Structure 1
């Protein structure tokens, strides 16, 4: 984990520890016992450290701690119908953004109205030109999951925006 100090703009940005991430495509969720897949796009379920975010009508992003890897792969192995389950753990990093100015900071690069996003939900969107997955963890805390190759660009935009916020621009 890489932590950045609290910024004058009132937001702390922390790179979270890696997790096991699976991009799952499946037409019939009743064939996925033990996965607790939410059905509404943007809805997220959480159980035993594992979270599942519904990104589309047949698409989910599953995250689990490394200790839950075997159980997750066992659940995926129990699916008996055609599906796609691709491990994307090394492809992405997650930043935690927390503080009273977090919505203003995120608005610097995200066109989505995140103030309307309910706590516990998430969505695929863009930050500047990079595709991201954003989840609202609390009223003033979000997770921003970014492809590793886009992370330097997103971090540069966040750094610029925090400096502007701190300067009162």
Structure 2
């Protein structure tokens, strides 16, 4: 029996800060999901991890009654949501300043993420997303392509996550 060591691709992963976006946390009961989604111009997905996009706005289902919505800065989603509040009560909270987003891309991105994430990142389908942890930080991973991810991180954890990403990349290059 031979020991086979997993070969990591030591190619660097490009880690870059993304431009700020409007980021909203939405909670609404399933009975009011369709009405509120129509007001926002989105068909809010019902499957956890599913994403939809329309006109630069994206919605990610994080739970049975919870969505993360992103849109270009300056987009007004509160006015249409407020207009249907009487018929579709909900909580829509601007969390834009709470988080930052990193883009991670390159041939070894799956190995890089797997080093600090207990989730099987390779199993996240392209076009979906998942809330998970990276070391001790809660993150949302958006899989935009086979080797292209976005990672939303609470601003206070960003230095820790960036340092871990750099350390793991250094270890890959050194062949550890």
TM score, norm. by length of structure 2: 0.87
Partner SS, residue 126 of structure 1: strand
- Computed over aligned residues only, the root mean square deviation of the Cα atoms, in angstroms, reads 1.2
Asked if 2 retains the 8 angstrom alpha-carbon contact of 1:9 and 1:163, the reply is no
Q: State whether structure 2 residue 25 is matched by structure 1 residue 23.
A: yes
Q: How does 1:24-63 map to 2 (within 5 A)?
A: 24-27=26-29, 28-32=32-36, 33=38, 34-63=41-70
Cα offset, 1:73, TM superposition:
2.2
Cα offset, 1:11, TM superposition:
0.7
Kindly provide the CA deviation profile for residues 101-140 of structure 1, in whole angstroms up to 9, marking residues without a partner as x: 0000001111110111111100110000000000100010
User: 1:110 maps to which residue?
Assistant: 117
User: 1:76 maps to which residue?
Assistant: 81
Count of residue pairs brought into register by the alignment: 160
Runs of 5+ consecutive residues of structure 1 not aligned to the other structure: 1-7
Q: Compare 93-102 and 107-116 and name the one that shifted more.
A: 107-116
Cα offset, 1:145, TM superposition:
0.2
Cα offset, 1:30, TM superposition:
1.9
Partner SS, residue 11 of structure 2: coil
Asked if 2 retains the 8 angstrom alpha-carbon contact of 1:24 and 1:83, the reply is yes
TM score, norm. by length of structure 1: 0.91
Q: How far apart, in 2, do the equivalents of 1:58 and 1:149 lie?
A: 26
Asked if 1 retains the 8 angstrom alpha-carbon contact of 2:14 and 2:104, the reply is yes
- Aligned counterpart for 1:124 among listed residues 105, 113, 131: 131
Q: How far apart, in 2, do the equivalents of 1:91 and 1:38 lie?
A: 24
- Aligned counterpart for 1:141 among listed residues 148, 152, 173: 148
Runs of 5+ consecutive residues of structure 2 not aligned to the other structure: 1-9
Structure number with larger C-alpha Rg: 2
